[in-house]
């Protein structure tokens, strides 16, 4: 049985640290609720029932019923979409409507079919030069990216910048995005259906940019964009082809994600080999 005794300072710090690691960054209700409390008596005189209305309304809110007023959050009034094939079909139809990168940005900003949008602070669309001949695509934003609304701005982003500089590139001569444009809560892996819902938007994004060379950063983006089940260690260093919905074939180099390289620095030499091949391919294509 859960104890109601207050936590000591050390335990409270540990609990807050756990919440922070899990990605909890806001309170949904002003008043703490005891979720394991006994329910209010159902048989009472009319005046007693009237006096219990606020408590009963609060209880209904805690079990998911429609509240009398929406909670004060960033997306007040919106309800989380159930990720299903219907939302994926809707995403495909909406993505096809975009005739420019700006239109795609506006469509994606207004899309409410992915529940990740409701827990993210910002839409993380892209960074760099959309006219560049080199496009790089990762999986999903992290905490720093979510706060700034730009992809690859944290530690892995700084490493990516250094990698780009090693082949004479930077964010003025490259274009960077992600398969998933919203940060999953606590940096968890996106579900297969969340990925499927977001996939039409990144595929249309690539089609509109039409880079000469596409780079997939890491296992998830490689599997999604190249429609493969092979792991990144088998795929990396080998040229593949991404085919857009319009039939455009784009040479694609799968390589290791910068976050993986931070954890496994000995494998930076593999990424270096991949980016040398990318540099040579770009020179070859002019």
Looking at residue 69, its pLDDT comes to 36
Q: Which domain holds residue 138?
A: 85-285
Check if the beta carbon of residue 273 is closer than 8 Å to that of residue 254: no
Examine the pLDDT at 172 and tell me if it is beyond 70. yes
Q: Is residue 8 part of a domain?
A: no
Residue 74 has what pLDDT?
Answer: 41
- pLDDT for residue 32: 55
Region 108-114 average pLDDT: 96
Q: Has residue 268 been placed in a domain?
A: yes
pLDDT tens digit string along 257-273? 999 999 999 999 999 99
pLDDT at 193 > cutoff 60:
yes
The fraction of the chain above a pLDDT of 90, given in percent, is: 69
| Number of alpha carbons in the 13 Å side-chain half-sphere of residue 76 | 9
* Residue 20 within a domain: no
Of residues 31 and 94, more confidence is placed in 94
Residue in 255, 176, 250 with CA at minimum distance from that of residue 213: 250
Give the distance between the most distant pair of CA atoms in the chain.
85
**The length of the chain, given as a count of residues:** 286
92 vs 65, more confident: 92
The predicted structure's pLDDT at residue 44: 44
Q: How far apart are CA 58 and CA 246, in angstroms?
A: 52
Who has greater pLDDT, 51 or 186?
Answer: 186
Overall average pLDDT of the 274-281 stretch: 98
| Per-residue model confidence (pLDDT) at position 58 | 44
- Nearest alpha carbon to residue 82 among 164, 194, 177: 194
CATH number of the domain that 275 lies in? 3.40.470.10
Q: Evaluate if residue 108 carries a pLDDT over 50.
A: yes
- The pLDDT score that the predictor gives to residue 34 is 55
Q: What is the pLDDT of residues 2-29, one digit of tens each?
A: 444 566 676 666 666 665 655 555 555 5
The answer to the question of residue 227 being in a domain is yes
In a domain, 41, yes or no: no
Is residue 76 a part of any domain in this protein? Answer: no
**Per-residue pLDDT tens for 143-155?**
999 999 999 999 9
- Can you give the pLDDT at residue 67? 39
Is residue 203 one of the residues assigned to a domain?
A: yes
Residue with more model confidence, 15 or 183: 183
> In the structure encoding, which two tokens stand for residue 166, read together?
């090693």
For the cut 90, the answer to whether the pLDDT of residue 42 exceeds it is no
**Residue spans of beta strands (DSSP E) within 161-245:** 175-178, 213-217, 240-243
Number of domains composing the chain:
1
21 within domain boundaries: no
């Amino acid at each position: 049985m859960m104890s109601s005794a207050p936590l000591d300072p050390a335990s409270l710090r540990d609990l807050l640290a756990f919440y922070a690691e899990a990605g909890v960054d806001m309170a949904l209700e002003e008043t703490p609720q005891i979720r394991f409390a006994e329910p209010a008596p159902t048989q009472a005189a009319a005046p007693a029932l009237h006096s219990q209305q606020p408590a009963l309304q609060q209880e209904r809110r805690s079990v998911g019923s429609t509240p009398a007023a929406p909670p004060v959050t960033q997306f007040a009034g919106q309800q989380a979409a159930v990720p299903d094939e219907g939302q994926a079909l809707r995403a495909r139809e909406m993505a096809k409507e975009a005739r420019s990168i700006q239109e795609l940005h506006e469509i994606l900003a207004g899309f409410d079919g992915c529940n990740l949008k409701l827990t993210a602070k910002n839409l993380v669309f892209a960074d760099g030069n959309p006219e560049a001949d080199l496009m790089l695509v990762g999986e999903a934003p992290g905490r720093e990216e979510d706060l700034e609304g730009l992809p690859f701005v944290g530690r892995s982003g700084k490493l990516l910048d250094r990698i780009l500089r090693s082949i004479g590139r930077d964010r003025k001569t490259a274009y960077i995005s992600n398969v998933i444009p919203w940060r999953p809560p606590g940096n968890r892996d996106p579900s297969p259906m969340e990925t499927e819902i977001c996939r039409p938007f990144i595929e249309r994004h690539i089609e509109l940019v039409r880079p000469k060379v596409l780079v997939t950063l890491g296992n998830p983006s490689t599997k999604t964009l190249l429609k493969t089940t092979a792991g990144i260690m088998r795929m990396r260093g080998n040229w593949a082809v991404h085919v857009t919905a319009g039939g455009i074939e784009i040479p694609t180099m799968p390589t290791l994600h910068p976050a993986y390289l931070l954890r496994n620095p000995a494998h930076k030499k593999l990424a270096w080999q991949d980016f040398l091949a990318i540099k040579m391919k770009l020179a070859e294509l002019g």
